Amino acid sequence: MRVGLGYDAHRLVPGRPLILGGVEIPYHLGLKGHSDADVLSHAIGDALLGAVGAGDLGQHFPDTDPAYQGISSLVLLEKILSLVRERGYQLVNVDATVVAQAPTLKPHIPRMIAALAQVLQIAPQAVNIKATTTERMGFTGRGEGLAAYAVVLVDQAG
Ligand code: MG
């Protein structure tokens, strides 16, 4: 078995949808980035790549590549899952924390879990998503951006 850790942060800006875990969340700001800037999916993707010793997201999906402009990060997770399987591993579980002063994410977490479990092809019970604020400290606390942390466990397939 192997573990992987992922971290990501994106800036909150006007004029962008807020996508977290593949789910659009009603808010007056969205995350800025080359793809859909889904900070939660990016943290999970990095954790998966880390677990199988396959580098990081930026290496596999460069933000200079027009192919990934505006792309759903769930598509990136699908590609990463294929890579994990090619390397002979299967995903056991995901645990993640989204750091956001606002909006309140709790009501949206069940939808995020459903979307992520579907794309990662594991049971919803194997996907845990948490949300926290930083009590107004730091860039997340000031509402300048959102951050996410994720850990995954993978096991040798078969
Ligand atoms: Mg990112």
Cβ pair 98, 105 in contact under 8 A:
yes
Is residue 83 packed enough to be buried (19+ CB in 10 Å), middle (13-18) or exposed (0-12)? middle
Structure confidence at residue 63 as a pLDDT band (50, 70, 90): confident
- For residues 152 and 56, what is the distance between their CA atoms, to the nearest angstrom? 14
pLDDT tens across 129-156, in order? 999 999 999 999 999 999 999 999 999 9
At 76, is the secondary structure helix, strand, or coil? helix
> Measured between alpha carbons, how far apart are the two ends of the chain, in Å?
12
Give the distance (Å) from ligand 1 centre to CA of residue 90: 23
Stated pTM of the model: 0.97
Average pLDDT, the chain: 97
Give the distance (Å) from ligand 1 centre to CA of residue 37: 6
| Residue 89 pLDDT > 90 | yes
Q: Which residues surround ligand 1, an ion (CB under 5 A)?
A: 8, 42
pLDDT tens across 5-19, in order? 999 999 999 999 999
**pLDDT on residue 59:** 95
- For residues 25 and 102, what is the distance between their CA atoms, to the nearest angstrom? 11
- Phi and psi torsions of 138, nearest 5°: 75, -175
Mean pLDDT within 38-63: 96
- For residues 43 and 33, what is the distance between their CA atoms, to the nearest angstrom? 14
Give the distance (Å) from ligand 1 centre to CA of residue 121: 22
Give the distance (Å) from ligand 1 centre to CA of residue 87: 23
